[in-house]
Amino acid sequence: MIALHGIHQTYAGPQGPVHALRGIDLEVRAGEIFGVIGRSGAGKSSLVRTINLLNRPTQGRVLVNGQELTALNGAGLRAARRDIGMVFQHFNLLSSRTVYDNVALPLELAGATRGEIRARVLPLLELVGLQALADRYPAQVSGGQKQRVGIARALASRPRVLLSDEATSALDPETTRSILALLLQIQRELGLTVVLITHQMQVIKQVAQRLAVMEAGQIVEQGETLQVFHQPAHEVTQRLLDDVVPRELPAPVLARVRALLGDQPTPDARLLRLVFAGRGAEQPLLSDLVRRFGLDLNIVHGQIDEVQGHPFGTLAVLAHGQAPQREAALGHLRDAGVRVEEVACA
């Protein structure tokens, strides 16, 4: 549905050229929610704005639904953009227009009749749960409701692609969850392709089937969301994942481990961090380690979550056993799809 080939974006800055995007190649499949994540300044917003050519790339090609947007200008580009809706971080609503009129605006600009506008706007307000607020002004509704207006407005022209640029970053956690649930509902009911820009792995975890990680204008990692959570390949990705599943164990946990080991730690004890995902989280692996390999295990820390409907979690265990049995047990875990890391507890 979306293909970016060799995208570069360079801006003129006070200190010289700013290279916002550096050789981006990316494909987004039809009907998926694709997340793009990175810290501030990574190039996420520059990337998403090249998809609808709000920012025309300095170099490269942008294709949406098989049409090359970078080859279009004027009326052709305006027509192509009707297939691409966009939701913004700060809502961008017109304060002098009601909720209804804000949603109607794209249709008015396209020359739709009053009857056509009403037939389109009322179902959209029902879809986003705002039919009772149609006559209110933006100042009279909450932040989450403003974003729902923005989503309805973005859907007014019946787009096939929806771009979301940090649409939840100004919202509280509960409202964020409700907006993400709405985006999932819309994607499923309307069959949209959604590109979701965010700096929060919590957002990616809840809705994105696949993701790309950006740093300094480049994509440093991409793949299926569960796989990236389970086996991050780049340090930038791991730092972002620390917001959801921290690598470092809390100091009180390490203190408890040192207390369990005592003043004379045994060479047969190892503190292990086990990362489970998918099938590895559904097997009785710890009991296998005890029964088959004769290890003694103390669970000292852990958390279980879900990524795209699949279990995902980590456990920190203090494993006691002789080296051959311990190494065989770790091989068994890895064969079962569990990531194993040894943690220093000194």
CATH number at residue 182: 3.40.50.300
228-284 pLDDT tens trace: 998 899 999 999 998 888 888 888 888 888 887 776 556 678 889 998 887 656 677
- The pTM of the full predicted model, rounded to 2 decimals, is 0.88
Q: Does one domain contain both 76 and 216?
A: yes
Which H helix or E strand runs over 183?
Answer: helix 173-190
pLDDT-based confidence at 287, cuts 50/70/90?
confident
DSSP state of 283: S
Q: Are residues 215 and 295 in the same domain?
A: no
User: In this structure, are 269 and 305 located in the same domain?
Assistant: yes
Structure tokens given for 172:
């509280």
8-state DSSP, 309: T
Show which of 214, 241, 268 is a domain's final residue: 241
Domain stops at, among 200, 221, 241:
241
Q: Buried (b) or exposed (e) across 159-182, using 16+ Cβ within 10 A?
A: bbbbbbbbbbebbeeebbbbbbeb
Percent of the chain surpassing pLDDT 70: 96
Residues 331 and 231 in one domain: no
Give 110-125 pLDDT, tens digit per residue: 899 999 999 999 999 9
Q: How many CB atoms lie within 10 A of CB 87?
A: 26
End-to-end CA distance of the chain: 51
Domain contains 246: no
Residues 258 and 199 in one domain: no
Which tens digits make up the pLDDT trace of 324-335?
Answer: 888 899 898 888
Residues 191 and 60 in one domain: yes
Q: At what angle do helices 99-109 and 143-155 cross, to 10 degrees?
A: 20
Q: Is the pLDDT of residue 147 over 90?
A: yes
* 258 falls within a domain: yes
Please check the confidence at residue 313 and state whether its pLDDT lies above 60: yes
Position 19 in a domain: yes
Amino acid at 215: E
Q: Measured between alpha carbons, how far is 145 from 151 in angstroms, rounded to an integer?
A: 10
pLDDT score, position 279: 63
116 in the same domain as 97? yes
CA-to-CA distance for 29 and 44, rounded, in angstroms? 18
Q: Are residues 49 and 154 in the same domain?
A: yes
Write down the pLDDT at residue 89: 83
Q: Which amino acid would we find at residue 289? A: L
d(C-alpha 21, C-alpha 37), whole Å: 14
Residue 98 pLDDT greater than 90, yes or no = yes
Give dist(CA 304, CA 282) in Å, integer.
11
**pLDDT value of position 24:** 97
Range of the domain at 274: 251-342
| Tens-place pLDDT, residues 51-61 | 999 999 999 99
Task: Give the count of domains, the chain.
Answer: 2
Which among 207, 241, 275 is the end of a domain? 241
Regarding whether 275 and 143 lie in a shared domain, the answer is no
Q: Residue 90 — very low, low, confident or very high, per pLDDT cuts 50/70/90? A: confident
Q: Which of 214, 157, 201, 164 is nearest to 184 (CA)?
A: 164
Q: Are residues 124 and 268 in the same domain?
A: no
Parallel, antiparallel, or unpaired for β 59-64 and 2-13? antiparallel
Could you tell me if 140 and 160 lie in one domain? yes
Cα–Cα distance measured from residue 156 to residue 144, given in angstroms and rounded to the nearest whole number: 19
Classify residue 143: in a domain, yes or no: yes
- Does one domain contain both 58 and 146? yes
Counts for the chain of helices (H) and strands (E), in that order: 12, 14
- 246 vs 52, 242, 317, CA distance in Å? 36, 4, 15
pLDDT at res. 214: 97
Output the pLDDT for position 183.
93
Percent of the chain whose predicted confidence (pLDDT) is above 90: 60
- What is the per-residue DSSP string for 127-165? HTT-GGGTT--GGGS-HHHHHHHHHHHHHTT--SEEEEE
